Amino acid sequence: MSSLQAITFDLDDTLWDNQGVMLKTEEGHYRWLLEELATWREIREEPPLALNYEQGVVDYLQRRRRWAQQVPERRGDFTWLRLRALEEQLETEGLSRSTALLWAAAAMNEFHRLRVQVKPHPEAAGLLANLAGRYQLAAITNGNIHLKRQPLAAYFPVAIAAGELLAPKPDPKPFLAALERLNVAPDRAMHVGDSWQEDVLPAQQLGMHAVWVADQGDQALPTRVHRIAHVKELPSLLEWIEKRT
């Protein structure tokens, strides 16, 4: 009889490598905005904006940081921060409020289109399909990937976007929200993630089992915490855990 009933997954850098996609998305949506906006103004015979990529992208980042400081409860809601920063930047450049809002929203649409172009590890879909037969599965992410648009969405009947809860991990709220929706006690659930601070510690402190996906790390592991180098090692770890319980 299995003691584990549910497994919750972090997504970025756990089920796929995130970094390359994030860099392309970061640059791509902002270049898209400047190019599309330039064409749009040209057609309307409006003068080009003074904004260029190099200065604009630095200013955009500074505005995001300012918004996160000014509205700290939104600090984990990256989509919100980006929207506010872009709207503000475009208004500062002389666009009307309504035009600034439209273009900021369009840029964020492009952001999400690029952002979902992550390639899950080749083993991930098969792994989740197998686990779904034995455990309830959930995703808990701080990332602002659109959960319904991400490639493995079908395997996660429960998906928690922690930033939108205004409580990014390591806040325990997204973990508690997942456990409540799964209707599972913490000690019957396991969280799998790559971040020691944001995944392993909060899960362990709630009494969940935790699997740290890290190819290096020799620190002593607290009780109920295991380390694997890659998520593809999860099935053999689970087999080992289930035999001991």
Cβ atoms within 10 Å, residue 154: 12
Nearer Cβ to Mg ion, position 110 or 198? 198
Nearer Cβ to Mg ion, position 34 or 153? 153
Q: Is 110 in the site for Mg ion (CB under 5 A)?
A: no
The sheet that has 189-193: what strands, in order across it? Answer: 158-161, 136-141, 6-9, 189-193, 209-213, 225-228
Nearer Cβ to Mg ion, position 15 or 238? 15
Interface residue with Mg ion among 4, 6, 13, 79 (CB under 5 A) is 13
Q: Cβ of residue 122: shortest distance to Mg ion, in angstroms?
A: 18
Reduced to 3 states, what is the DSSP secondary structure of residue 102? helix
Query: Which of left, alpha, beta for 13 (phi over 0: left; psi -120 to 50: alpha)?
Result: left
Q: Cβ of residue 41: shortest distance to Mg ion, in angstroms?
A: 39
Binding-residue pattern over the window 62 to 101 for Mg ion, x denoting contact by CB under 5 A: ----------------------------------------
**Window contacting Mg ion (CB under 5 A); options: 6-14, 46-54, 67-75, 126-134:** 6-14
Which strand (E) or helix (H) includes residue 96? none
Contacts with Mg ion by CB under 5 A: the residue count is: 4
Binding-residue pattern over the window 184 to 223 for Mg ion, x denoting contact by CB under 5 A: ----------x-----------------------------
Helices (H), the chain: 19-43, 53-70, 78-92, 97-115, 124-132, 173-182, 201-205, 234-244
Torsion angle of C-alpha atoms 135, 170, 147, 229, degrees rounded to 10: -60
At position 78, the amino acid (one-letter code) is F
Interface residue with Mg ion among 4, 8, 10, 137 (CB under 5 A) is 10
CA-based radius of gyration for the chain: 21
Residue 155: which of 121, 197, 127, 175 has the closest Cα?
127
Nearer Cβ to Mg ion, position 81 or 192? 192
Interface residue with Mg ion among 12, 77, 87, 88 (CB under 5 A) is 12
Per CB under 5 A, residues contacting Mg ion are 10, 12-13, 194
